[in-house]
Amino acid sequence: MSSTNYYRKNKKTKKVVHVCPCCDYSTTGPKITLKHHILSKHTAECDRPFQCMHPGCSRGFAQNQLLQNHLCKVHGEKKQPGKKKKVLYYTIKIGDEKPSSKKTRERMAFYKENVILTTNKIRENITMSCFHYDVRHGFIKSESITENDILSNVMIIASH
């Protein structure tokens, strides 16, 4: 059963219902829907994960797309159309969240042994979807290093 069909069926049967601990909101959709609700309705803007970095602007957003909309509408920034970034490698740091599942704990051991990972190494040992899941849930923090990052550093060094 596809995830779409699962949520459609769950909407009717209400087998799994995610309930907000702060108000009477509930959803039969994915758990992330409840997470977004809590971040947007019950979290102070200064504590939300996506902060506007413009001087004098202190807006915070629950989702990156909402920040991008804000940057465009309020500050007039246009998203630069560009090449798809090619990630050369990721640097990994262990996050604050502690996993409860055995598989995620096994991946944590992998990350502890491999603090620099290429996309190929991730694909060979785990999967990209597991990697992104671990980042999203705060089990790890990753920073991607792209070709553009390296080229930008070379340009800066060359101009000095």
pLDDT band at 73 (very low <50, low <70, confident <90, very high): very high
Check pLDDT > 90 for residue 51. Answer: yes
Check pLDDT > 80 for residue 61. Answer: yes
Could you please state the CATH topology (level 3) that the domain comprising 87-150 is classified under: Arc Repressor Mutant, subunit A (1.10.10)
Q: What confidence tens digit (pLDDT) does each residue in 106-128 have?
A: 999 999 999 999 999 999 999 99
Record the pTM.
Answer: 0.48
Q: What confidence tens digit (pLDDT) does each residue in 17-28 have?
A: 899 999 999 998
More confident residue, 84 or 131: 131
Pair 116, 88: CB distance under 8 Å: no
Compute the distance between CA of residue 79 and CA of residue 72 in angstroms, rounded to an integer: 8
Going along the chain, which residue ranges are E strands? 18-19, 26-27, 50-51, 60-61, 87-94, 116-117, 140-146
Pair 131, 156: CB distance under 8 Å: no
Check pLDDT > 80 for residue 96. Answer: yes
For residue 102, which phi and psi values (nearest 5 degrees)? -60, -45
Pair 31, 53: CB distance under 8 Å: no
pLDDT band at 82 (very low <50, low <70, confident <90, very high): low
